[in-house]
Amino acid sequence: MSVKILHIDSNNPILWNQLEEAGFENHADFKSSKEEIEAKIQDYNGIVIRSRFKIDKTFLDAATKLQFIARVGAGLESIDCEYASSKGIHLIAAPEGNRNAVAEHSLGVILSLFNNLNQADAEVKSGQWNRESNRGHELNLKTVGIIGYGNMGKAFAKKLRGFDTEVLCYDILDNVGDENAKQVSLAELQEKTDVLSLHLPWTPETDKMVNTDFINAFKKPFWIINTSRGKNIVTADLVEAMKTKKVLGAGLDVLEYEKLSFETLFQDKNTPEAFQYLLESKNVLLTPHIAGWTFESHERLAQVIVDKIKAVYNVS
């Protein structure tokens, strides 16, 4: 077997080493531009990526021998999937690899927001001892609404089993509910939810989904957690809802302003007004796209990708 694989992003050594042991020929190029990679991609049968640049029609047309694209992550939005599939290219992702990490992160964010943990910690470290202003909320007896009930949503619902909560889920697919979450219509979820957690891909249907109309459709004030994609939320609309207390707090691991690579935040040095509000808000918890970024998931993602590449070629 002679299968040449180009790795354009660094990953856990498990990925490289196990592919090599299985007889694949690995090549690495972590620095060249998209155009420079395009100039040589015709020599490769497979490519392993994270999110350095978009795999578009131009790139795919240059990749005349390409048999698979493996993204070491959950989503494939950086790839023109429809065009790649039309060329018979296998598309590989690894949502199983970091679903537990995302679930644990989501739970941690909710508990931190509910109990003012970050704010209280900062105050004590600055010499303040404020008990009443840091009185918290309990998750028990709340209704948690999950939008997107795939790998991530299901893993999060499983984590909630230790709490006395009602867990609802909404998904575009039918019959995905299970023993951990009851599948309902979007209208019912918006009627009952106290805590909303997003576990969505970024698609034309989910782009800017959480806007003013979407938020106002909720019957009760609610908290929102987003560990999916930043562009699923219109930040300015979220901020307006926070000002009116329609949204009680937000835990955002992803931001509308992220570049596609997820490695940097802004494309310029101007801080948007809505983001400045989030930076100054005590009821907002921000993290730099790390929900699925644990030491354990780093290994697990690599292993899932190895196993799936080997399966394409029926290699044990």
Which residues participate in catalysis according to the annotation?
229, 258, 289
Q: How far apart are CA 228 and CA 236, in angstroms?
A: 18
- At 210, list the tokens: 């959480």
- At 102, list the tokens: 């995302």
Q: How far apart are CA 221 and CA 162, in angstroms?
A: 24
Strand partners, 124: none
Residues with Cβ within 8 Å of residue 312, at least 6 apart in sequence: 67, 68, 90, 92
Nearest of 32, 77, 27 to residue 50 by alpha carbon: 77
Q: How far apart are CA 21 and CA 235, in angstroms?
A: 47
Q: How far apart are CA 113 and CA 129, in angstroms?
A: 18
For residue 198, count CB atoms less than 10 angstroms from its CB and return exposed for 0-12, middle for 13-18, buried for 19 or more: buried
Residues with Cβ within 8 Å of residue 75, at least 6 apart in sequence: 93, 95, 201, 202, 229
Nearest of 74, 60, 92 to residue 201 by alpha carbon: 74
